[in-house]
Amino acid sequence: MMRRYLLIIGLLTLNLFGMANAVEILRWDRIPLALPLIVGQERIVFVDQNVRVGVPRNLVDKLRVQSTGGALYLLAKEPIEPSRLQLQNMSSGEIMLVDIIATTGQPNQDAFEPAKIVAGESPSTRYGQVNSKPTSSHAWAPTVQATTQEVEEATPAPRRETPLPVVLTRYAAQMLYAPLRTVEPVEGIAQVNFKRGVDLTTLLPTFTVEASALGSWRLDDYWVTAVKLRNTSAQHLSLDPRDLMGDFVSATFQHPYLGAKGDASDTTTVYLVTLGHGLAESLLPAAVSQIDPKGGRREE
């Protein structure tokens, strides 16, 4: 009889221990995650990433949000209608959507267990994603005695699912014109500072346009720079990458033409991809802009 009581007590203890340490697993598959809250009861969400939380303005006084060590601490101070939070990964830029609702708890109602957000089992292939498959069946494996230089020279460069000029151009266009929540994160991409005072008059020397840099990004050994073009003439201008002067891997216009000055279409953006250096090192010397394309020299 005593053994039976000890067995029952042991099972109850294990059951209570398991309940106290239960964690709800939420899988992020690009579908907003539902996270209910109880007013006055703090709920912990484990993310295991350095994230920034975007909270709507109407919730600033209703919801307390604290983040530390890869965990979020959410405390609703009053009932909250269904609302959406944005969790942005600071390293990759990926955004996860979390839908919350806070209700008043019932007497003796158990608190919600902590939640943990994990990546889905089958994440979709992203632009710029490194291909984990080896380039050949005889991949080189360095020995312990190999030097660092030998490893760097013999290890093949990682293959990506999409050509890098395409990846960078698409990313730059999204960063400038798409809503933040729709920007596709790209591992390894970083924004770089564009040198101020760079003369862009040689970019399109035969066109009466004003050019100014909007931003620049880098991935591996490629750079992309977004340049705004504004027509300063009364003529309609057709845009052709062959008219650009400089050392570029690729050039992509946001629009195929520029309307006359003052028209809504008189401004567009061109995305210039360079290899091994930024845009400033790929432009022609400023003195070239003083040469008339018809053979003479422009008067200042």
Q: Closest by alpha carbon to 131, among 110, 108, 162, 169?
A: 162
Tell me what pLDDT residue 21 has: 54
Q: Note whether 28 and 89 are same-domain residues.
A: yes
Q: Note whether 168 and 286 are same-domain residues.
A: yes
For the entire predicted model, the pTM comes to 0.51
Which residues have C-beta within 8 Å of that of residue 23, sequence separation ≥ 6?
46, 113, 114, 115, 116
Q: Closest by alpha carbon to 31, among 112, 119, 103?
A: 119
Q: Note whether 109 and 32 are same-domain residues.
A: yes
In a domain, 201, yes or no: yes
Q: Note whether 172 and 270 are same-domain residues.
A: yes
Q: Is the pLDDT of residue 284 over 50?
A: yes
Query: Can you give the residue range of the structural domain that contains 208?
Result: 164-290
Q: Note whether 282 and 200 are same-domain residues.
A: yes
Q: Is there a contact between 229 and 200 (Cβ–Cβ < 8 Å)?
A: no
Tell me what pLDDT residue 129 has: 57
Structurally, how many domains does the chain consist of? 2
Tell me what pLDDT residue 136 has: 40
Q: Is there a contact between 253 and 239 (Cβ–Cβ < 8 Å)?
A: yes
In a domain, 59, yes or no: yes
Q: Note whether 69 and 168 are same-domain residues.
A: no
Of 33-42, 130-139, 176-185, minimum mean pLDDT range:
130-139
Q: Is the pLDDT of residue 181 over 90?
A: no
What the block records as the tokens of 300 is 């200042």
Q: Closest by alpha carbon to 252, among 268, 266, 265?
A: 268
